[in-house]
Amino acid sequence: MIVGEVVGNIWATRKEEGLTGLKFLVVQPDSSFSSFSPSTFVAVDRIGAGVGDKVMVTNGSSASRIDNVQLPIDSLIIGIVDSVEVERGEGNG
């Protein structure tokens, strides 16, 4: 997963079936997590994230199954980040 910040919203009235009612947010990857998507991308949100939130995002077809239905989406916000703790450690944590 990558970490990013919600920076906006995107609307599309004409959509593929099954996508009506879903919320599409624009996410800017956190610079240290920018491996998969250095620039902004669109993710579906179902847990109430909003602009300014730091979020954890799953990409690829892992993101496509919602309530046991396969949807044509490839990016899903899976968590609103409380905190990230990055350190160097010796041996098993």
Site for a copy of itself in 47-86 (CB under 8 A): 47-53, 56, 58-65, 70-86
CB of 30 to a copy of itself, least distance (A): 9
Q: Is 4 in the site for a copy of itself (CB under 8 A)?
A: no
| Residue 43: Cβ-neighbour burial (10 angstroms; 0-12, 13-18, 19+) | buried
Alpha-carbon gap, residue 52 to 91, rounded angstroms: 36
CB of 49 to a copy of itself, least distance (A): 7
CB of 5 to a copy of itself, least distance (A): 8
**8 Å CB contact between 15 and 7:** no
Question: Within positions 20 to 39, which residues make up the interface with a copy of itself, using CB under 8 A?
Answer: 24, 26, 29, 31-39
Among candidate residues 9, 91, 82, 92, the one with its CA nearest the CA of residue 45: 9
# of chain residues touching a copy of itself (CB under 8 A): 72
CB of 45 to a copy of itself, least distance (A): 9
Alpha-carbon gap, residue 50 to 9, rounded angstroms: 9
